Structure 1
Amino acid sequence: MDTFIEVFALQAGFAEMAIRGTTMYWVLYALLRISGRRDLGSLGMADMLVLVLVADAAGNAMSGDSYSMGDGIIVVATIVGWSYLLDRLGYYAPPVRRLLEPQRVCLIRSGRVLASGLKREHITRSELMEQLRLKGIANLAEVERAYLESNGEFSVIRAPRASGDGPSTLDDDDRSD
């Protein structure tokens, strides 16, 4: 029974672990928010490596090299608590949601690519055309609007009665078939 109690005994203290968890949550949140949203939709090998390394570094910083289960539970509960609180605040207070989540960015309007949107999100024309092809779009005339959404996904609103006379989505493809 004493061993069980020792495993859950706090080594660093409740306040220290809550402060560590809160600090790391907000630092990582800010860094991920600044780094852009486009990578959220899909994780490449380099992205996965960064995620694992960040998790390991953050875990060490949050725990303060503590091996106590109690300390770990406090840190995890703090992180989950912040996530829950921000989710609820975003739902009930739209100004908070607008502050915490990026706005969607228009990339195509009436079949014309908006260079300002691509530049803002660091998306190449080839990447945009790839996303359109994945959505079944053969040429730009088929697109009334295309957006990069706040979650990093691309959304497309098809043009009514598209003539198919616009530029092909294959025009700027760097790869050969």
Structure 2
Amino acid sequence: MKFSPDNWQDVFIPEYPVLELIVRGMVLYFFILFMLRILTRRTTGELTAMDLVFVLLLTEAASHALGDFTTIGDGIIMLLVFLLCNHGVNQLTYHFTFFQKIFEHQPLLIIKDGNLNLRNMRKELLTKDELMSSLRENGIENISDVKKAFVEGEGIISFIQYEKKENNGSRKNKEKSE
């Protein structure tokens, strides 16, 4: 049984040409980003068991496309490429609305004035039961209490409720009694 490798260069020096590693990493990064962009918002925001299997299969397929790395150097270069691509996309979406529209989902209206927008719900494959579950999770009992609801870019459903009117006369009476 060996305790250390015979040649440490075999561990750290990349086997593949660095430019090939960079191109492979960039192509896969942007392909996966594109695939996630064309999927519904809920797929990327809420991971169900089916979504988790999808992500695992996606990463497995990507790992084969990256090549069979046997050195740490290859893996480090690929991780650096992913980090740089991610940082670049974040910078572009922060500074330019054009890139923000390309890489990020805009909020999608699903309830307006207590009425469901069935067309937009269909786009997101959002059932009424799933919407009602989100309402309950947010402490809302009835759709008619919702002024607007959106499926946000990251897949979360956000709700804007009508303002609850308080009886001003009773508030003044409370203040006087204190």
TM-score normalised over the length of structure 2: 0.84
Residue 145 of structure 1 pairs with residue 162 of structure 2:
no
Query: Aligned partners of 1:115, 1:20: CA distance in 2, in Å?
Result: 41
Q: Considering Cα pairs closer than 8 Å and 6+ residues apart, tell me whether 1 or 2 has the greater RCO.
A: 2
- Offset at residue 119 of structure 1 (A): 1.6
Please give the alpha-carbon distance, in whole angstroms, between the structure 1 residues aligned to 2:150 and 2:6: 58
Matched, 1:32 2:39: no
Unpaired runs of 5+ in structure 1?
Answer: 163-177
Over the residues paired in the alignment, what is the CA RMSD in angstroms? 1.6
2:28 maps to 1:58 = no
CA contact (8 A) 2:46 2:156 kept: no
Asked whether the equivalents of residues 149 and 155 of structure 1 are also in contact (C-alpha less than 8 Å), the reply is yes
User: In structure 1, what residue type is equivalent to 2:9?
Assistant: I
| 1:78 equivalenced with 2:104 (yes/no) | no
Aligned residue identity for 1:74: I
Aligned residue number for residue 48 of structure 1? 52
Give the whole-Å Cα distance in 2 for the aligned partners of 1:16 and 1:25. Answer: 14
Q: 2:126 aligns with which of 123, 127, 130?
A: 123
Amino acid at match of 1:48: L
Q: 2: distance between equivalents of 1:37 and 1:114?
A: 16
- Deviation of 1:3 after TM superposition, in Å, equals 2.5
- What residue number does 1:21 align with? 25
CA shift, 1:133, in A, is 1.1
The match for 1:4 is 8
Determine if contact 2:121/2:127 at 8 Å carries over to the other structure.
yes
Normalised by the length of structure 1, the TM-score is 0.85
The CA deviation string for residues 69-104 of structure 1, in whole angstroms up to 9 with x for no partner, is 111111111111100000011111122112211111
Residue identity (%): 30
CA distance in 1, matches of 2:25, 2:126: 34
Alignment correspondent of 1:171: none
- The structure with the larger Rg is 2
Opposite residue 151 of structure 1, the aligned amino acid is E
CA distance change for structure 1 residues 2 and 88 in 2, over 3 Å: closer, same or farther?
Answer: farther
Give the Å deviation of 1:30. Answer: 1.2
Q: Report the CA distance between 1:42 and its aligned residue.
A: 2.3
Q: How many residues are matched?
A: 161
Deviation string 1:17-50 (CA, Å, 9 cap, x unpaired) is: 0011011111111111112220223222222222
Amino acid at match of 2:152: E
